[in-house]
A = this chain, B = another copy of it.
Amino acid sequence: MNSFGRIFRVNVFGESHGESVGVNIDGIPAGIPLEQEDFLPDLERRKGGARGTTPRKEEDLPFLKSGVFNNRTTGAPVTILFENNNTRSADYAKLREFPRPGHADFVAAKKFGGFEDYRGGGHFSGRLTLNLVAAGVIAKKILGDNIQVNAVIKEVGGYADAEEGLEEAIKAKDSVGGIVECTVDGLPIGLGEPFFDSVESALAHAAFAIPAIKGIEFGAGFAAAKMKGLEHNDPIVDASGKTATNHAGGVVGGITNGNRLVFRVAVKPTSSTPKEQQTLNIASGQVETFSVKGRHDLCIALRVPVVLEAVTAMVLADFMLLEMRVPRVFAQ
């Protein structure tokens, strides 16, 4: 489904080269100050243009179509629309012959019988992360200033120094992957729902909706698999639940424990590498040489942090509204 969340319910729609992409969000408390400008900083962070990111530039202006009155949320669903102005679909015409490796082209054609909008990845495009960022802006407002969500690049192409990794990729004329870490400070104890809606379950569910994410780990994560119990356990040191170490990443039994939430995601290299590839030509039935045209990020991981923050805020806002009893009316 194209929706996510139990109380703070996010519905995304749109296609990369269609009329628009957009998001409809239900369950937002009334009274939250909200206007177009609030979205711009995070949308700017997401935008292409820096080294290693796509030269495609959209204005990415969010139009508030419903749910806001006198610059405040009304309690009714908020719909945000982004127009697609700067599309060059001709770039994609040839792609029907070569389903791009690593992209959804092949599976989408099978699943939707060829009726899918294939231009630029259509509904599978990274452009839909605009919607996540927009939803994240509202979610962050619900979390308030005391809960701080922060995602940063930890690695690009195997290098802890992202610049270095990117440099190397530019030199190699190939795309690269990366690792992004997200931390959240200020969370109350008790978010997360047994049995199936652990904080890890909900965050992983949302994170894997971001294109190109192929792994997620909390706290020590995969390193925990090599540790001993005494080493991994986080001793509780005071009545507030503070722990001496944080191998659990702030989640125990699927529930926040009041310590910093920490998790990392693995981002695969951009599938649209500038390199030539050997892959199937559907028309000829032969494996042939193919190279992707169009405008693409060399390292998609560079654009992930603000998107990861957004889905994290979405998940946590939902838990806060569900569990922690934030009031329906939320005047500031």
Contact = CB atoms under 8 A, between A and B. Distances in A.
Contacts of A285: 239
Interface residues of A, number: 156
Nearest to A19: B65
A256 interface: yes
Contacts of A321: 326-327
A248 interface: yes
Contacts of A249: 214
A117 B254 CA distance: 17
A238 interface: yes
A269 B232 contact: yes
B66 A20 contact: yes
Interface in A144-173: 155, 157-158, 169, 172
Interface in A1-43: 1-4, 6-7, 9, 11-15, 18-22, 24, 26-27, 29-33
A186 interface: no
A99 to B, nearest CB: 6
A330 to B, nearest CB: 4
Nearest to A165: B226
Nearest to A285: B239
A323 to B, nearest CB: 7
Given A15-B67, A214-B222, A233-B273, 18 more contacts: A11-B24, A29-B326, A30-B112, A75-B111, A115-B331, A158-B226, A172-B228, A174-B229, A201-B206, A214-B221, A215-B222, A217-B217, A233-B271, A237-B279, A237-B280, A237-B287, A238-B280, A239-B280
